[in-house]
Every structure is written in structure tokens, then in C-alpha cells.
Amino acid sequence: MHEPMARYPSLADRVVFITGGGGGIGAAMVQAFHHQGASVAFVDIDDAASQALCRELEAQTGRSPCYRHCDIRDITALQAIIEEVSETLGPIRTLVNNAANDDRHDWREVSVDYWDERMSLNLRPMFFTSQAVAERMADAGGGSIINFGSISVRLALGDLPTYVTAKAAAHGLTRSLARDLGELNIRVNTVVPGCILTERQLDKWIGPEDEARIQQHQCLKVRLTPEHVAPMVLFLAADDSAQLTGQEFSVDAGWG
């Protein structure tokens, strides 16, 4: 953590489920919720990184998050893990739909199979995780679903049309579910990260010249990292944001 985060008493012992929690923004959120005293469960496909994160947090606090390997394209497996977590830890009160993949692709080369596979990763799990947690969440008194959008939608970025389409749809899903689930006291919001400099982004897409260009666009001339996103997610999960739903919250240093 770069700086100490605000403490939210309502998050103590709360069951939190995060997709893609093994690295990048997801790992920062696992750490942040864990240090709030929440009972954190997360899925990922990177066993080495996820298990190392669990060991690190256990060394720090004497307790470990619950990690399960899962390819979220397999909805049956994903929902089975949600069922297991709900039976073991209790009803999930916070769901964070974080996992995604923004591999670049040429629109000329997109096949039907590739399109469907990208949607099965970047969009479909958001709905089916929400469906899987909603009834227990409602029975427990309500909760918070946090979907991840992307600044790429607002900037109309090229070279990743399936990703941008899926993220645009995620914004619509948030608004629709906020209406449907509001009567169950379930809030649904979207977090919209800017250009977050994760290890993956730095390894694959962003060099020093790109960083300089990005900061020219940002109002705040800062280097955005996963730890800058986690505080917003904590706030939207906590009871302090109990009246907020159907909204988009940007963490982009003023670019979007």
C-alpha cells in the first residue's frame, strides 16, 4: 500500500468476492479489503501469483484470503465457487467484477469465435456472478456489486474493439441491474479506471514515452497505480455509500 487507507467499520467481517484478484488492480483490492478485516475470497487463473498473495497477507495478519483457481469463462465452475464461498464464509455482501483481458486486436482479423470468446471473458461473467450472489445478498440485508468499466469507452480507443464493446455493455449492465436489484437493497455501480500502470500494462503496452503522453492528458500529473483504485472500491462497498447506485466513478486523474 502506498498510503494508509480510511477504515470502514462496516467492512469488518464482511464477505467479499473478487474476480481476477491475483494481480494488478485485483490484488490491490484483495489486500485493501483484507486489511479492513473483511473475509475475502477471490478467483484467478494465475496460481503462483495468487498463492504468493495469500502467503504474504497471512504473514502480515495471521489469516489468509480464500483463493480458488477459476477460468471465469466457465460459468458453471464460477457459480459453483460462489456457492462454496457462500456456504463456507457466509453470504457475499460485496461482489467486485474486476477480471478482464484487454489484448489488442485488429478489427479485420476478428472472427465470430474470437468475438464470442472475448465477450465470455469481459462481459458475461459480470451478469452471472451478480445473478449467483443476489438472493443471498438480499436475504442478508443487501449489499454492493461493483463492476469495472474502462476509460477506453470514453476515449474511443482503437485496436481493441471487442474489449471496448464489452466494457460499454458493462456500463449498461450496471444501470439495468441497479434498477432491478434496488428493491432488494443491492447497490450496483461502475468503477472506471484510467490508465492504471499495472505490471501487465508496462510489460505489454506502455513505455516511457507513452507514460509521458498519458500524463499530458491527465489533469493530475501522477502515475496511476492499482493502489489508487482500491480506495474507491472500498468506499462503494462500505455502508458509507449506502445511497449511491447506478453510477459511474472514475479514477483517471482527470483524463476522462
Residue 31 inside a domain? The answer is yes
114 is known as an active-site residue: no
Radius of gyration of the chain (CA): 17
Residue 216 inside a domain? The answer is no
> Which residues span the domain enclosing 111?
12-194+226-251
C-alpha span between 97 and 121 (Å, rounded): 11
Give how far Cα 134 sits from Cα of 30, 92, 176, Å: 21, 9, 14
Residue 230's domain is classified under what CATH number? 3.40.50.720
C-alpha span between 187 and 192 (Å, rounded): 16
Domains in the chain, number:
1
> Residue 57: what pLDDT?
98
> Reduced to 3 states, what is the DSSP secondary structure of residue 127?
helix
Q: Catalytic: which of 8, 67, 114, 163?
A: 163
Cell of 234: 472500498
Cell of 221: 500529473
Q: Number of C-alpha atoms within 13 angstroms, CB side, residue 199?
A: 7
pTM reported for the whole predicted model: 0.94
Return left, alpha or beta for 134; rule: phi > 0 is left, psi -120 to 50 is alpha, else beta: alpha
Average pLDDT per run of 10 along the chain, which is 256 residues long? 76 98 96 98 98 98 98 98 98 97 92 97 98 98 97 86 95 98 98 85 70 87 92 98 97 87
Residue 37 inside a domain? The answer is yes
C-alpha span between 50 and 48 (Å, rounded): 6
Residue 211 inside a domain? The answer is no
Instruction: Determine contact, residues 92/85, Cβ cutoff 8 Å.
Output: yes
Residue 3 inside a domain? The answer is no
> Residue 256: what pLDDT?
61
Residue 208 inside a domain? The answer is no
> Residue 200: what pLDDT?
76
> Residue 2: what pLDDT?
45
Helix, strand, coil tally for the chain in percent (to 5): 50, 15, 35
Helices (H) and strands (E) in the chain — how many of each? 10, 7
Residue 69 inside a domain? The answer is yes
Residue 98 inside a domain? The answer is yes
> Residue 204: what pLDDT?
60
Task: Fill in the amino acid letter for 21.
Answer: G
Per DSSP, the residues of 182-208 read: HTTTEEEEEEEE-S---HHHHHHT--H
Q: Could you give phi then psi for residue 244, rounded to 5 degrees?
A: -105, 120
